[in-house]
Amino acid sequence: MGKNVFREGLKRYLSEEELQTLSAVRIAVAGAGGLGSNAAHMLVRSGFTQLVIVDFDVVSDSNLNRQFFFPDQIGQRKVEALRENLLRINPDVQIQTVFARVTQENAADLLGDCDIWIEAFDGAADKQMLAVAGASRKKYVICASGIAGYGNTDRMTTRRMGEYLYLVGDFESGIDSYVPLCPRVMLAAAKQADLALELALSNPNIAAKVRKGEAT
């Protein structure tokens, strides 16, 4: 097997210990649309190698303005198209794809062995469901709210809501009132990915699990 040139390039910016840590942390991406596809893209480029991606939709032409897909993937399941694109970045990344809708009943089974959950849903009720399901199981959940439209990007901030829950966005610009456009959607996804990176490398609870070999 040839050398992984992507990982070799990352060694310029991250230590071997940091790379090992990122490889040990398992990330769940619940939703593979604007938030989820872009967050997953940035997670892989940041050095994470274990992802679980869950979504029940297929790629359409209206997704291409903001999601990490391409015209020749229209009609494919989003989870499979995204896996294909992520493997082009790092061919050694381990991606478990699940073509299903995350619900209160199945969230624990689908995502429970992951250390960090990325919430990437459209609806407020689904967002709240995942936040409660994850935090109640002491999983770090990174949600987004208020990411649509354009302009006023400085209003997009990060809030910590208790020990395990984080929320990014401006908390006002929902897709029910504004159209979803690439810059603000990707900014929110970047904030989610950056929080995951910070948690993986700096959070003492996750660090302790990694040292003990418990992070999946």
Domains in the chain: boundaries:
16-211
Long-range contacts: 54-63, Cβ < 8 Å, 24+?
54/28, 54/29, 54/30, 54/79, 54/97, 54/98, 54/100, 54/102, 54/110, 54/111, 55/31, 55/79, 55/98, 55/99, 56/99, 56/100, 56/101, 57/32, 57/33, 63/33, 63/34
Residue with tokens 């040139």: 5
**pLDDT of 151 higher than 60:** yes
Q: The CATH number of 16-211 is which of 3.30.230.10, 1.10.10.10, 3.40.50.720, 3.60.20.10?
A: 3.40.50.720
How much of the chain exceeds pLDDT 90, in percent? 87
Give me the pLDDT at residue 201, please.
Answer: 96
**pLDDT of 1 higher than 70:** no
| pLDDT winner (highest mean) among 1-15, 44-58, 126-140 | 44-58
Give me the pLDDT at residue 215, please.
Answer: 59
Distance from C-alpha of 195 to C-alpha of 39, rounded to nearest angstrom? 11
**pLDDT of 210 higher than 90:** no
Give the mean pLDDT of the chain: 94
